[in-house]
Structures are given as structure tokens and as C-alpha cells.
Structure 1
Amino acid sequence: MSMSTSYKVCVIGGAGYIGSWLVKQLLEKGYTVHATLRNLDDVTKVSLLKSLPDADARLVLFEADIYNPIEYEHAIEGCEFVFHVATPLQHNENSQYKNITEAAIAGAKSIAECCLKSGTVKRLIYTASVVAASPLKEDGSGFGNVVEETCWTPLSLSFACSNAYRKAYVDSKTLAEREILSYGNQKNGGLEVVTLACGLVGGDALLPFTSSSVAVFISQLTNSATEYQLLRFLEELVGKIPIVHIDDVCDAHIFCMEKPSISGRFLCASSYVSSAEIATYFQQNYPIFQVKPEYLDGPKREIVWGSTKLEEKGFEYKYCTKMILDDCIRCARKRGGTDFQ
């Protein structure tokens, strides 16, 4: 390891799918972790985090909500690194913000300001999404040839397979990432900012239920129309579907913390596949599920995944497409009860 594990780090959104796994990995590596939750009275989430190895000695929980972002100041105080994993998914109608996009931008801004105010935070690492990195052309004439870090989703376009909720999510993730990055572009006393635009995240989970992203992965097996439409939406937005394992995602976050110096935007996905390729894999390897023929036919695009920035810094992905899909099924069988066997 390249740094002292005596460091304190903060995970904003520590009880979610990625956040809880990240807290687990940080504790395993010997860091002291401040983790925020929306509600410390949520027994299930609090118990989950407190049950992690070494949590009793090195995990401190804080109550904070993205809809009242000043609450994060206490959690960030005294930390050297901050991971902003939280994102608003359902709008709080009673808040000062008119929608989740406003809330996400205000949250990003406030968390960055808290980092600067702390006097201790060296680097802010934001869990961004590939929905902000669409290769769609601004004029609506189709896709560019390559997906990489210079791609920004043109928010003026309407997207296939979209609805108001999905459009709001794309807007919020795109504009919040731009807001966070702006703090790294200023002469601001040394705060480095990293954004990791992650693909669809699959694999195992600490959560006692199947996470929404794993449910999207297996939607062609469960025949869930809602989740399958999300899979198709991502495909129509980004050309194909960038995918990544939860282990690799959290390793990438910690990698970006442990580097002596790193900043800027990085896409984080180990594979770039079509929905039809996912369905074909399931059909060939899990015939018990009887994949519907319509899932096996879909758009065949020649777009290339051109992002290598993370690997050029020295990061290595451990999980291939097969391993990600197999682990999604394993996780769903473990979490899903008798209706997914």
C-alpha cells in the first residue's frame, strides 16, 4: 500500500449497494471510515454496516441527507479523502429543490465546499455514471464511433426508451459530475477531484435484497418489463452497455484514493456489450431460464469502447463479462428466494 492506513476517509452514502461494499473494502484495508446514512434509526442499514469486520473499532456512522447537504460537514471533518457515492433517486417534495437534478447539483456543490472548508481533505472522489458519457451527437444524427472521457451526454436530446424518471436521472448525474469537476479546475488550495463514471454495476452484494442494478442485469431472465426497459434505455443512450463488477468499482475508487496524485474524469467499465449478447450468454449457459427469442435480437452497433485512462494510471480490472453475469445470477439466487432459482 502506498499510504498510511491511519488515514480517515468519508463515504457519503455508505449504506447503498456500492457504498456498503466500499466501506467493507476500506475497513479490510485498515482505514478509519466515516460513513453517512440518511437515517440512523434505520435498523437494517445500521446493523449491516456495524456487522462488518473491524466496524466496532474503525467505523463511525453519521446521519446526513443530500437534501440537507450542510449535514455532511461533521462527517467530512478531519478526513483526508471523501467518496461521494450518494445520489438522490426519489424527489423529496418538501425540500427547497424543485427536482432531483437541483438536489444532486446542490449536494455536489455543498460536499465540495465542505471538503475545502475542512482543511484536511486532499481528494474528493465522485461516483459518476456512464449515463453522463453518451456518444450521441449533439445534432441528434446518431452515435459517434468511440466512447471515452470526452463524451458528454447531450441533454437537449430526447432518448429512446426514456421516461421522465430516467431523463431526470441522466440530467442529475451529468450536471452533478460537471459541478464536481469544476472544483478541480479551480486554484482552490489543493483539492484534487476525481470522477469515476461507472458502467452498470453487477456482482455480489452486502444488501439483504437484490440491488436494482443486478435486477437490470437479470431482467431477461425474470422477464421484468421495468428493469428490461432500463437495460434497453442504457443501450440506446450509450450505444451498448458498459458493465463492471462491484469489486472492480470499489477497487477503482480505492486505487484513485491511494495514488499519490490523480485528478479528472475516468470511465469505469471492463466490458461493453449489447443486450442481445447478454441474452445469448444466458441462453447458452443457463438454459433452465428459457430466454425469450426477442431478447436475442437487438441493435448491432460498431461503437468502440475507447476509455483506457484508468488502466494507463495502472489500474487492472479483475472481472470479465462471464464473471460479472455469473455473479449476478449467484447473487440473485442468494437474495431472491424461491422465485429465482
Structure 2
Amino acid sequence: MNGGGKVVCVTGASGYIASWIVKLLLLRGYTVRATVQNPTDTAETEHLLALEGAKERLKLFKADLLEDCSFEQAIEGCDAVFHTASPVKFIVTDPQTELIDPAVKGTLNVLNTCKKTSSVKRVIVTSSTAAVLVRQPPLEPNDVVDETFFSDPSVCMERKLWYPLSKTLAENVACQFAKDNGMDMVVINPGFIIGPLLQPTLNFSVEIIVDMVKGKNPFNCRYYSFVDVRDVALAHVKALETPSANGRYIISGPSVTINHIKETMRELFPKLCIDDTNGEGLMDGVNCTICVDKVKNLGVEFTLLKSSLRDTIISLKEKWLL
């Protein structure tokens, strides 16, 4: 039990990654203070309260990314904070209000509270490969991407890639804040995340798999790279438990074609009617090599894509989401 006696906070705890982080922390003996938007909404809280160890060591707090000091109560007395709360949407009508403000202001709000709370020794921020891969000129198949690569906000704006813009701006302000305030901060940059769901509702990245089963190609891409949610959650916890952890950690699987993904799903679930895609691979998507040596050095081993796909689809069926 690594976390015996330690108190940590997880923001946006009802989300897909955050729920798994909470589960893992409880299993490792931590006391968890989890922030949610609405503690009375069972869709947000029921799956968290049902986790092993939750009765004894989980406490829920209401917090709002845009409300100053909203996280104070939850963070008070914590040894570490996992900041995962940030909206994930690719289709928005007002990018500033729906994505950028909650991502950027919310991050600063949480970090300001951490700065004022003397007990907090380390902050782990959930970013995304969306803050890594959007660049000019675009990445090529021979490029090897590592933690030194950052998305270019002006390219994101030009191409109206609002989600990557929100994650890039949020990570930039977080890094600047940590630098200015001598804060011990680690950033995790996951790719598209799949794997079983703890929460009862469909989240954006798993919806991609539902779309693929229905014969859609959600981004019209030929290449996708997925990573398992359990590996991503473990990377977050290892980033806390490894004293030498620092900077950014990219965690993403290899690029595979949409055809390969569909063939794998057909092989795993012959009875599942997986339609052929219309408009096959109109864009390549990002097909480059992502170096994941740094995250492997934390002790994270990658779940095979086939296992992740199998567990994702089983989970979707159990929750009546497929």
C-alpha cells in the first residue's frame, strides 16, 4: 500500500481517466478528495462511491473550474493534486466559453489554490497529445515525436482546432505558473484513450469506437493511435510515486490504420455487425513515431490494442452503450 496515510485530490473525478485514477489511488491506500460539478447527480458520483475503499477513504466536493477559490476546501491538507478536470469536445459553437476558459482559467484556479496550500508537494496535470502534435510543417511518418514537441497555438487557431488549442494554452500557462512559483509539477500527455468505462455515460474518446462499430470514421482519418485508460491512470499515479518524475510524459500507442482496428474488432466479436467505412481514410491523420521511453521508465507497461478493444466493447455492452 503505497498511499497509506497520504491524502490526495483529484479534480473532475467523475470523468473517464479521473475515475480510474481514483480507483487506483483507493486500491493503493490513499485517502482521496474528489471534486465533481454536482455531488447530488448520481451519474457523476454513484460509480465513484461504489469503488473499493470509497466508504472509508473517499470524500466528494463540489467545485467549478471558473469559480475562484472553488477548490480550496478539497485541496486543503492534501499531499498532492491530480488536475484532470477540463472539457473534452471537438464540436463547439463558442470555443472560448466552452473550451478555452474552463481549460485555462480552471488550470490557473487549481494551481493558485495549490500554491497557497503548503501541504501540497506535487501537482500532476492531465494534458493531451493534442498539445504535442499540431505543428507547421505537419508531422511526417519519419518524424520521431517526444516530450520536446509542442503544438503551435497559431496553427490550432488557423485550422480551428479548438480542443488542441485549449489543451495547448492550458499546458503552457501551467508550465509558466510552475516555473514562476517553483512548483513541482508533472504533466501527462495521453493520446486517444480507450478501455473499460467506470462512469455510466459515453465519453468522447470511447465514442470513437462506437462510431467505428457503426461504420463511421469519426475523424475521416486513415491512422489512429490509442492508449488504454488503465495505463494512463497508472502513469498518473506513478508520476506521483516516483520522486524523480519531472516534466512531461507522452503516453500513446503506435499508429494503426482504421482498417486494422475494424478487422481486430470483427475478429474479437464476429457477431457484432461492424459496417464498412464510407469515405475511407480521407486524411492520413497523424502518422508519426511517438517515443514513449520516458513513460516506460516510470514503470508503465502498455496494454495490447487487442485487449483494450476487447475490454472497451465488453464494457460498452454491459453499460448498454452499444
Normalising by the residue count of structure 2, what TM-score does the alignment of the two structures yield?
A: 0.87
The answer for unaligned runs of 5 or more in structure 2 is 90-95
1:86 equivalenced with 2:78 (yes/no): no
Residue in structure 1 matched with residue 148 of structure 2 by the alignment: 150
Q: Distance in 2 between matches of 1:183 and 1:5?
A: 30
The 3-state SS of whatever aligns with 1:288 is coil
Could you say if the C-alpha distance between residues 55 and 292 of structure 1 is closer, same or farther in structure 2, counting changes exceeding 3 Å?
Answer: closer
Hey, what does 2:75 align to over in structure 1?
Answer: 76
1:47-196 pair list within 5 angstroms = 47-89=46-88, 98-134=97-133, 136-139=134-137, 145-157=143-155, 167-186=161-180, 188-189=181-182, 191-196=183-188
Amino acid at match of 1:274: T
Matched, 1:306 2:300: no
The letter for the 2-side match of 1:242 is S
Measure how far apart 1:46 and its partner are.
2.5
Quote the Cα distance in structure 2 between the aligned partners of 1:41 and 1:333.
26
Alignment correspondent of 1:247: 230
Checking the alignment, whether the CA contact within 8 Å between 2:142 and 2:289 is kept in structure 1 is no
**2:71 counterpart SS class:** helix
- Distance in 2, Cα, partners of 1:261 & 1:321: 29
Distance of 1:264 and 1:27 partners within structure 2: 25
Aligned residue-pair number: 317
Matched, 1:317 2:311: no
Name the structure 2 match of 1:93.
Answer: none
Instruction: Indicate if the aligned counterparts of 2:234 and 2:300 stay in contact, CA closer than 8 A.
Output: no
3-state secondary structure, aligned to 2:295: helix
Matched-pair identity in %: 30
Give yes or no for contact 1:9–1:34 (8 Å, CA) kept in 2: yes
Kindly state the Cα deviation for residue 67 of structure 1 after the two structures are TM-superposed. 1.9
Measure, in 2, the Cα distance between the counterparts of 1:43 and 1:273. Answer: 37
Aligned counterparts of 2:148 and 2:259: Cα–Cα separation in 1: 27
Q: Is the 8 A contact 2:224 2:285 kept in 1?
A: no
Where does the alignment leave 5 or more consecutive residues of structure 1 unmatched?
A: 91-96
- CA-CA distance at 1:11 after TM superposition: 0.2
The answer on 1:211 being equivalent to 2:203 is yes
How far 1:112 moved relative to its partner?
Answer: 1.0
CA distance in 2, matches of 1:87, 1:144: 32
Once residues 34 and 286 of structure 2 are traced to their aligned partners in structure 1, the CA distance between those partners, rounded to angstroms, is: 41
Measured in 2, the distance between the counterparts of 1:141 and 1:147 equals 9
**1:330 Cα deviation from its structure 2 partner:** 1.0
- Aligned-pair Cα RMSD in Å: 3.0
Q: Distance in 1 between matches of 2:244 and 2:255?
A: 28
Contact 2:195 2:312 in 1 (8 A): yes
1:197 aligned onto 2:189: yes
